[in-house]
């Protein structure tokens, strides 16, 4: 199984990062390992052993970077980055940062990090079934590694989608993920700033997963998400809270703060889900993700 090969590479080179994989195995079981294997093989497998090394190396560097940024946050009560333009150049327009660290690492983190894994499960098992019958066109804004577009395409077979991002590296990786699973005919990508260049026509469902904390002005972005969604349409909006990372700018201190910005922008919250990592830490130092299923009405 590809999963076993991938984990063996991790154990050989980065044994300190293996305990979370053991926890995920125990909690999620064989079906999780099978799904993980399928995704790893399709996205990274075409390059053989080098592809798996790419995935493991990227994941390890992604983890190391997150740990260092979290230590800084806990020491200074703020994130390192404050300027979006600087982050844009150092991160989203950098091949070293995006292709070698951020995107492979983020892809694997959706299966391994407890709070990422549980948020993805909630999206697929709890939220998408509530709206799938009403969705034929969806947009994802800030595609990252493409995992949420992939899961939407898998769960809603009648839907087609467009992924928007300001990083060509993220867009190309996302298309690689989507095409490797046979959904290329139902998906396209666009490099676009949705605030500067509003999107038409409106969609049935918009996804924005852990984008808000990367911005200087999240409320304007949340309003732009609503403007690109039809009346009565849906959204899935999440944000990282008290979570240090190199490219995080806006510091949310609670899920309630995120929810307030969402409702002030005109969305109605239908459901929500919150997950945290490091449960032994004080709440104000605990990396957390809050997700909201919302409606434009």
Contact 161, 137 (CB under 8 A): yes
The first and second tokens of residue 234, run together, are 């849906």
Contact 256, 226 (CB under 8 A): no
Distance CA 33, CA 224 (A): 38
**Block residue for tokens 């999107």:** 199
Predicted confidence at residue 176, as pLDDT, reads 96
Predicted confidence at residue 46, as pLDDT, reads 67
Q: Check residue 77 and report its DSSP letter.
A: S
80-97 pLDDT, tens digit each: 999 999 999 999 999 999
DSSP letters for 107-173: HHHHHHSHHHHHHHHHIIIIIHHHHGGG-SEEEEES-TTSHHHHHHHHH-TT-EEEEEES-HHHHHH
Predicted confidence at residue 280, as pLDDT, reads 86
36-67 pLDDT, tens digit each: 999 999 999 866 678 899 999 999 999 999 99
- Residue 166, Cα to own-chain centre: how many angstroms? 15
Q: Check residue 196 and report its DSSP letter.
A: T
Distance CA 17, CA 53 (A): 15
Predicted confidence at residue 162, as pLDDT, reads 98
Domains and CATH numbers, the chain: 2-83+95-112 (no CATH), 114-296 (3.40.50.150)
Distance CA 146, CA 173 (A): 7
108-140 pLDDT, tens digit each: 999 999 999 999 999 999 999 999 999 999 999
Predicted confidence at residue 279, as pLDDT, reads 85
Q: What is the mean pLDDT of residues 2-15?
A: 93
Predicted confidence at residue 29, as pLDDT, reads 87
Mean model confidence pLDDT for the chain = 95
Answer yes or no: is pLDDT of 282 > 80. yes
Q: What is the mean pLDDT of residues 189-211?
A: 97
Answer yes or no: is pLDDT of 21 > 70. yes
Q: What is the mean pLDDT of residues 16-20?
A: 95
Which pLDDT band, with edges at 50, 70 and 90, does 254 fall under?
Answer: very high
Give the closest residue to 111 by CA, choosing from 170, 80, 78, 151. 151
Distance CA 293, CA 271 (A): 5
Predicted confidence at residue 1, as pLDDT, reads 75
Q: What is the mean pLDDT of residues 277-291?
A: 92
Phi-psi region of 77 (alpha: psi -120 to 50; beta: other; left: phi over 0): left
The first and second tokens of residue 117, run together, are 């894994």
Answer yes or no: is pLDDT of 103 > 90. yes
Which pLDDT band, with edges at 50, 70 and 90, does 141 fall under?
Answer: very high
Predicted confidence at residue 250, as pLDDT, reads 98
3-class DSSP state for residue 276? strand
Predicted confidence at residue 45, as pLDDT, reads 81
């Amino acid at each position: 199984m590809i999963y076993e090969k991938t984990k063996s590479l991790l154990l050989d080179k980065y044994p300190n990062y293996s305990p979370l994989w053991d926890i995920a195995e125990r909690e999620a079981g064989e079906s999780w390992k099978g799904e993980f294997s399928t995704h790893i093989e399709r996205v990274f497998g075409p390059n053989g052993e080098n592809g798996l090394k790419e995935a493991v190396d990227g994941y390890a560097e992604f983890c190391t970077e997150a740990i260092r940024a979290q230590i800084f946050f806990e020491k200074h009560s703020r994130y390192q980055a404050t300027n979006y333009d600087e982050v844009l150049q150092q991160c989203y327009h950098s091949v070293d940062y995006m292709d070698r660290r951020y995107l492979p690492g983020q892809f694997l983190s959706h299966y391994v990090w407890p709070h990422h894994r549980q948020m993805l499960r909630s999206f697929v098992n709890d939220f998408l079934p509530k709206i799938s019958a009403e969705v034929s066109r969806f947009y994802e804004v800030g595609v990252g590694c493409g995992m949420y577009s992939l899961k939407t395409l898998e769960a809603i077979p009648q839907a087609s989608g467009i992924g928007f991002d300001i990083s060509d590296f993220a867009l190309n990786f996302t298309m690689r993920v989507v095409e490797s699973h046979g959904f290329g005919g139902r998906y396209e990508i666009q490099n676009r700033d949705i605030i500067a260049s509003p999107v038409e026509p409106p969609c049935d469902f918009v996804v924005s997963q852990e984008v808000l904390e990367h911005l200087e002005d999240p409320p304007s972005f949340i309003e732009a998400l609503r403007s690109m969604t039809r009346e009565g349409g849906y959204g899935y909006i999440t944000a990282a809270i008290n979570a240090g990372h190199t490219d995080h700018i806006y510091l949310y201190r609670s899920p309630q703060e995120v929810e307030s910005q969402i409702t002030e922008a005109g969305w109605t919250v239908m459901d929500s889900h919150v997950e945290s990592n490091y449960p032994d830490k004080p709440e104000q130092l605990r990396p957390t993700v809050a997700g909201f299923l919302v409606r434009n009405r």
